[in-house]
Every structure is written in C-alpha cells, then in structure tokens.
Structure 1
Amino acid sequence: MKIKSIFVLSMMLFAVVRSANAQETTTFPQQATDISPLLIGESIPDFTLPDLQGKAVKLKEQLAAKPTLLIFYRGGWCPYCNRQMADLMKVEEEIVKLGYQIIAISPDDPAHLRATMDKNQLTYQLLSDADMKLSAAMGLAYAVPEASVQRLKDASDNKNPGALPVPAVFIVNQAGEIEYEYINPNYKSRIKGELLLATLKALK
C-alpha cells in the first residue's frame, strides 16, 4: 500500500511538472506564410526590452513619446535587413522632420545590436527581442529549420527559442495603435524608403 501511494504521488508530481513545462513551451507557426499578425487598429503589446547598452526600455512609454515607425527585422546577419536599413537612412531625416521616431527590433542581443549600429552607422533606436516574446505577441514569429537554430542562439545570448520574425514595418500612433503595416512573408521583399515616406506624409 505504501509503495502504491509513493507511485501515485510520483505520477502526480510528474504530471504537474509536465504541465508546467508545456505551458512554458511556445509553439510557433512552421512557415512564414502561416503567421497571424496584429491588424490595423490593434494595439502594440506592452513589453520591456533591452537597448544596445542593455538598458531596459518600456515600449509603451517609448511609443507614447512620439508617433513611431516600428520595424521588425531578422538580425544584423541578414543582408536584406542591412539593405533595408541603408535604404531607410536615405529618408530618415525627412521622417524625423515629420515628427516620427524610428525604433527597430530584432532577436539580436545588445552586443549584436551594437555591431549592427556601428556597421550601418544608424542613429535611431535598436531594441532586443532575444527571446522572441514580443514578436510572438505581434503574431510575427515563425519556426526556423533546425539547421538555423544555433546561429540564432549565438546572436541572442542563447535566448532564441528557434524562431524569427517575418520582417515588418508598422506606423504606430502615440496611443500605441497601428495605423499602417507592411508585412511580407518573403523576407527578400521590403518596402522602399521613398514609399514609406510617402505613406507617412499621407497619414499626417
């Protein structure tokens, strides 16, 4: 009877641990085309993310300061992301004159953000979503093949759960609401800076 009680108790404990682990596991869409991103009119989730110095930044407070051009990119290792940033720099001054701030978010850790900042000579803010929780809440995250996981872990201080964000651009008002979005599962296709600038002007 005593042995049976110990066995039942052990099985109950195993079930509790298994349940807790299941709750901690995030299941991502298997393809970039399977994501369900937030829509125009919905609000950006309230997250706190580290900047390139490791300082905690409350996204909600940051968005409340100014209308925002919010960019999600794959990482500093991605040539298409670097080209997008270079293209954005051509119209950055005009974007700022319109009263917008630019915030770019990727799964890279702060050290890799600094490398991206230096390489591209960026002047706008970069934030780290190394654990991909914000990207998942935005509906942008999808699972990557096993062969790519280690590279993402190396760039995220081992925090990346094996996922990437579909590259996306959001125009967000000071209430944190999405006014415009460009999201393309084809990571090679990015919105041009000139078109983005024209869109910002049209929203003013």
Structure 2
Amino acid sequence: MPGIKEELSATLAGFQKNAPDFAKLPINAARADVVATFDRSGVIQGGATLPEFELKDATDKLVSANDLLSQGALLITFYRGSWCPFCNIALHHLQARIDDFAAQGVTLVAITPELPDTSLTTTEKLDLKFPVLSDVGNNFARKLGIVWQQPDSLRPVFEKFGHNLPKRNGDDSFEVPVPTTLLVDKTGIVRNVFADPDYTNRLDPEVALGWTKAL
C-alpha cells in the first residue's frame, strides 16, 4: 500500500490536473485563504484537559469521552466528511494500523460533523473497526478551536457534485473541522496535537504511533 503522503500528493495532483475550472478555482482559493487566515493560537494545546463530550456513533448510540477513556488512551481524528477524498485516505491509513495502536493500548476514534446515517455509510464503505462519532453542528470541534467556516463561493461547487452538506450534517452552517488529530492519555490530558488548515496534509500514522510509545 502506498504511504499516506504519496497517496495524498497523488490525489491533489489528480485534482489539479483534471478538475474543471468551475470547481478548481474556488476550491484552490478557499484552501489558500484558510491556510493564510486560520488562527492556530486558538487550537487546543498539549497539556490541556480534553473537554467532555457525548456524541452519537454510527449506530445512533451515545458515546461519551469517559466511556472511551475508561478503555485507555485515545487517538482522536477529526475529518470533514465522506465527500472529502483526503479524509477517506486518512481514515483508511489509520484503519490499516489499528492493530498497532491497540497493541499500545490506544483506541482510535474518528469525529465528523456528518449525521450518524452518513457516518454509518462511511464506516461500512471503508470497513472501519473503530468508533465514528457525529459532532452535529461542530459543537465539540468548536471547543477545540478547529472549526472553519467555508466560504459561500464553494456552495455551487458542492451542489454541482451532489454533496448536500445540509442533509449530510443536519444544518446549513457550511462549517467543517480543520483536520486535527489528538493523542489523549487515559487521564484525559491531551498529549499531542496535529492541526493543519491545509486539508491535503494529514498526520502520518507512523508519527502517531511514535507519540503513543512516549505515553
């Protein structure tokens, strides 16, 4: 299997080469804008206590932070939605290393603004064996300082490609989380943070495994 960086790079190159201008121009402009303007100082930092949450999983069951922490440390990754190819690549690579994380006593958790019906489809499509939780309205992501208000210039692009975010997310805010991964120890303390407003960059699971070995 290609490495995550190679796969992400190939996907971006394919988009730049093949995407029609009506999509490519506003998407590239919005991506450049969020990279330039995202306030990294507002992102949760290592050493902070993870805020409590209670979110529904893909089967509509409520799952709390305490439920998950009772099993040990957590590697939490936020993804924008199943419509995002870069997100799907990141989830696929995490799933491929799930046994390695388990051997370190770490549970993988994915969080998305998409409703449970949509996250269930993602779970089944990617054959994910870890919890996928729905942060409807990005309320939990907002506590971590990782919410991006996408510009309205992207709405026609999403509509053209059939990505109905109001239906998928259950609200019309057009907000998504900045892709972020947190390692949280079993006491609920955030130990490591990766947050990059350039959503074509993702944390390599190998790096995350290195984090876990320092717990």
TM-score, normalization: structure 2? 0.75
1:139 is paired with a residue whose SS is coil
After superposition, the C-alpha distances for 1:29-68 in whole angstroms (9 at most, x for unaligned) are x946225111101111112111111111122332243100
Residue 98 of structure 1 corresponds to: 104
Q: Is 2:160 aligned against 1:154?
A: no
2:136 is paired with a residue whose SS is coil
Q: 1:67 to 1:144 in 2, by over 3 A?
A: same
Residue 56 of structure 1 corresponds to: 62
| Structure 1: gaps (5+ residues) | 1-29
Aligned match for 2:115, one of 109, 117, 121: 109
Structure showing the higher helix proportion among its residues = 2
Residue 45 of structure 1 corresponds to: 51
Aligned match for 2:176, one of 145, 164, 168: 164
Residue 134 of structure 2 corresponds to: 128
Larger Cα-atom Rg: 1
Q: Over aligned residue pairs, what C-alpha RMSD do you find?
A: 1.7
The answer to whether the 8 Å contact 1:91/1:193 transfers is yes
The answer to whether the 8 Å contact 1:130/1:160 transfers is no
Residue 18 of structure 1 corresponds to: none
Q: 1:44 to 1:148 in 2, by over 3 A?
A: farther
Distance 1:188 1:160 in 2: 24
Aligned-pair CA distance for 1:147: 4.6
Residue 34 of structure 1 corresponds to: 39
Distance 2:75 2:179 in 1: 13
1:164 is paired with a residue whose SS is strand
Residue 193 of structure 1 corresponds to: 205
Residue 179 of structure 1 corresponds to: 191
2:148 is paired with a residue whose SS is strand
Residue 8 of structure 2 corresponds to: none
Amino acid at match of 2:39: D
Distance 1:110 1:191 in 2: 25
Residue 118 of structure 1 corresponds to: 124
Aligned-pair CA distance for 1:132: 0.8
| Structure 2: gaps (5+ residues) | 1-32
Amino acid at match of 2:193: E
Report the count of equivalent residues.
Answer: 173
Aligned-pair CA distance for 1:160: 5.1
The answer to whether the 8 Å contact 2:76/2:181 transfers is yes
Aligned identity (percent) is 26
Residue 25 of structure 2 corresponds to: none
Comparing 147-156 with 177-186, greater Cα deviation is found at 147-156
Amino acid at match of 1:34: D
Amino acid at match of 2:174: G
